[in-house]
Amino acid sequence: HSYPATDENGLEEPDLDTVHRMFNDAFGTKDNELYYVPLERFEQFVQEHFGMSIDELYAAPKQ
């Protein structure tokens, strides 16, 4: 998957470079790693707390 190098739609506040820097600073990543590391950490969190994958959790019966 590729991600845009610019914020063509004006969705990043205050701007794309600042958002990338903030995520990279928070997650200790660089460049486009910021798109993958948070997801990996969330997948790990779900596995540790619910004992199943995100897909399994999503497919679980709703109450």
- Kindly give, in sequence order, each residue whose CB lies less than 8 Å from that of residue 12, ignoring residues fewer than 6 positions away: 18, 19
Kindly report, residue by residue over 4-36, the tens digit of the pLDDT: 667 777 777 888 889 899 999 999 999 888 889
How far is 33 from 30, CA to CA, in rounded Å?
Answer: 6
Let me know the angle formed at the C-alpha of 31 by 28 and 34, rounded to the nearest 5 degrees. Answer: 55
Amino acid 63: pLDDT = 84
Provide the pLDDT for residue 3.
66
Provide the whole-model pTM.
Answer: 0.65
Domain extents in the chain: 16-59
Q: 54, 43 in Cβ contact below 8 A?
A: yes
